[in-house]
């Protein structure tokens, strides 16, 4: 996103020198824009623990680059051992964000069977960079899905300004680019939807006041800073149309850990009948924990509550104490919002109910690894759960059906019957085409590809519908992804699904 009109990511390899990773020191924002260079895994650990970098997505990608730096600095003879040790240390930097362990494990799994130390270093760098790109792409996709939800409210309000409330910073500073909770806001703005955001200050670290407001200023998003306690009152006054927050960890059953105070916003939203959305990439799902109660909640130093930092009159950043000396404190960093209070999750694959079988249906690859998907035999289509016959997950496509002006849509799933570069034939549990719904954007495997198709026919067959989709627009990336999908599909059709 933009800083003083120039595009930045939150982390990047130094273009001048190999083996250096550059980050933005977020402790100094919004008063100073300062970058720092990481050269060792320990630097990455310190940056995560000290919150120079923060937010689930960015913590994960910093850890991934930290693993690359561990490989780079390791002796060739002990490279795997050294990386494992660095991974343990990085994982201990902060407890709540799921992305941290996920990123470390993904780098370790990538290099596990590579023998040549130089190849290990190269592979670690490649996978860390891939994770950075993926993080940015997933947030952009979250934006496309979330934009439809904002567009829906905008239509219902007769195209009057949509008021969104957000807590903490799940913006681009918490990821590599775009942000999770903020991506739908940027995408809706780009689609011409008028909106305004209420930003919770988010004591004690003030991520909302310091970071989210700064991001919005840079991007020209209309916003107003409020105290953490004001949200409920604004909701009662009819000044909030929807809430969108991020997540540091979400169980595969839909319970959401996010910055402390999120739970209270969800309760207030429920009481006022206001939709409460959580935006997260799949890297923040915990596929092992069944209950939000089991998520480790970070406790931080009480100094964060007893003091406050800001810009002094002479232009330096200063910290002052706001309590009597020796005041006792407990400083919890996160809380858990139970799934029942969450209207839906916005992921890179689409909008999904915060509920086990719906989440599993959207991520059959993860769910089948858990051995739970087949047993449950359910898939969410348009908010309902019905049955498909076969469970070959690679043939399940996500798609969004858009209306004519592209501002409304819905998520559903279909099974691929036949595929070519010109079009696709698919089977779904509900009719795809109806009045006003003419286009389909398809997501293949984990990529949402810019691919627009026109439904050419949709006919009932038994309790299913078989539809033909003719592609009418495809980006170069979309073509590449789809060609790969077509190849995989053909191979599996000939060899049979394992
Ligand atoms: O303590 P932080 O700043 O690392 O916490 C992360 C957050 O900013 C929030 O909880 C956010 O809403 C989710 S992280 C994408």
Better-scored residue on pLDDT, 471 or 387: 471
Q: Report the top-level CATH class of 137-347.
A: alpha beta
* Contact between residue 238 and residue 277 where contact means Cβ atoms under 8 Å apart: no
Active site residue 248: yes
Active-site residue (options: 135, 248, 255, 447): 248
Residue 77 pLDDT > 90, yes or no?
A: yes
Which of 58, 174, 175, 250 to mutate to test ligand 1, by most ligand atoms within 8 A of the CB atom?
174
CATH of domain 374-495: 2.40.10.220
Q: Report the top-level CATH class of 2-135.
A: mainly alpha
How close is the Cα of 400 to the center of ligand 1, in Å? Answer: 29
Cβ–ligand 1 distance for 163 under 6 Å, the answer no
How close is the Cα of 359 to the center of ligand 1, in Å? Answer: 22
pLDDT score for 66 = 98
Which of 248, 265, 297 to mutate to test ligand 1, by most ligand atoms within 8 A of the CB atom?
248
pLDDT tens by residue, 194-222? 999 999 999 999 999 999 999 999 999 99
pLDDT score for 368 = 53
Q: pTM value?
A: 0.79
How close is the Cα of 429 to the center of ligand 1, in Å? Answer: 38
pLDDT tens by residue, 325-368? 999 999 999 999 999 999 999 999 888 889 888 888 788 667 65
Better-scored residue on pLDDT, 177 or 482: 177
pLDDT tens by residue, 300-317? 999 999 999 999 999 999
**The ligand 1 atom nearest the CA atom of 94:** 4
Q: Where are the domains of the chain?
A: 2-135, 137-347, 374-495
Which tokens is 283 given?
């890297």
pLDDT score for 109 = 96
Mean pLDDT over each residue of the chain, to the nearest integer: 87
Mean pLDDT of 211-240: 98
Cβ–ligand 1 distance for 56 under 6 Å, the answer yes
pLDDT score for 383 = 31
Residue 407 pLDDT > 50, yes or no?
A: no
């Amino acid at each position: 996103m933009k800083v003083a009109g120039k595009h930045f990511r939150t982390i990047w390899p130094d273009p001048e020198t190999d083996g250096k990773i550059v980050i933005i020191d977020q402790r100094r924002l919004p008063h100073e824009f300062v970058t720092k260079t990481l050269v060792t895994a320990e630097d990455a650990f310190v940056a995560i623990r000290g919150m120079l970098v923060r937010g689930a997505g960015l913590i994960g990608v910093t850890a991934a680059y930290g693993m690359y730096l561990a490989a780079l600095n390791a002796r060739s003879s002990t490279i795997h051992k050294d990386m494992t040790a660095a991974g343990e240390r990085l994982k201990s930097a902060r407890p709540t964000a799921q992305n941290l362990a996920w990123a470390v494990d993904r780098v370790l799994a990538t290099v596990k069977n590579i023998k040549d130390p130089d190849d290990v270093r190269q592979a670690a760098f490649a996978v860390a960079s891939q994770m950075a790109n993926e993080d940015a792409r997933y947030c952009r996709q979250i934006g496309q899905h979330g934009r439809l939800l904002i567009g829906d409210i905008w239509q219902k309000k007769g195209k009057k300004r949509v008021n969104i409330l957000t807590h903490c910073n799940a913006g681009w500073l918490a990821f590599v680019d775009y942000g999770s909770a903020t991506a739908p806001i940027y995408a809706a703005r780009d689609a011409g939807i008028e909106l305004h955001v209420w930003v919770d200050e988010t004591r004690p670290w003030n991520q909302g006041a310091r970071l989210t407001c700064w991001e919005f200023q840079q991007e020209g998003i209309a916003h107003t800073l409020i105290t953490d306690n004001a949200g409920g009152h604004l909701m009662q006054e009819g000044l909030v149309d929807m809430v969108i927050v991020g997540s540091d960890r979400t169980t595969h059953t839909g319970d959401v850990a996010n910055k402390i105070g999120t739970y209270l916003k969800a309760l207030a939203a429920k009481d006022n009948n206001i939709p409460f959305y959580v935006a997260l990439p799949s890297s923040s799902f915990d596929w092992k924990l069944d209950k939000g109660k089991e998520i480790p909640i970070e406790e931080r130093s009480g100094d964060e509550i007893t003091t406050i930092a800001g810009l002094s009159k002479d232009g330096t950043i200063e910290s002052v104490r706001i309590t009597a000396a020796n005041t006792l404190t407990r400083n919890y960093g996160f809380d858990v919002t139970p799934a029942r209070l969450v209207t839906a999750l916005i992921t890179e694959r689409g909008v999904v109910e915060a509920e086990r079988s719906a989440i599993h249906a959207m991520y059959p690859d993860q769910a089948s690894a858990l051995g739970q998907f087949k047993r449950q035999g359910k898939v969410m289509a348009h908010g309902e759960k019905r049955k498909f016959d076969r469970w070959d997950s690679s043939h399940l496509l996500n798609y969004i059906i858009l209306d004519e002006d592209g501002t409304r849509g819905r998520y559903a799933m279909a099974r691929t019957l036949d595929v070519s570069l010109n079009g696709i034939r698919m089977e779904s549990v509900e009719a795809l085409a109806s009045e006003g719904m003419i286009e389909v954007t398809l997501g293949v495997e984990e990529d949402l590809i810019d691919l627009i198709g026109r439904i050419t026919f949709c006919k009932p067959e038994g309790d299913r519908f078989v539809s033909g989709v003719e592609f009418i627009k495809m980006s170069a990336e979309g073509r590449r992804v789809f060609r790969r999908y077509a190849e995989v599909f053909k191979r599996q059709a000939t060899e049979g699904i394992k």
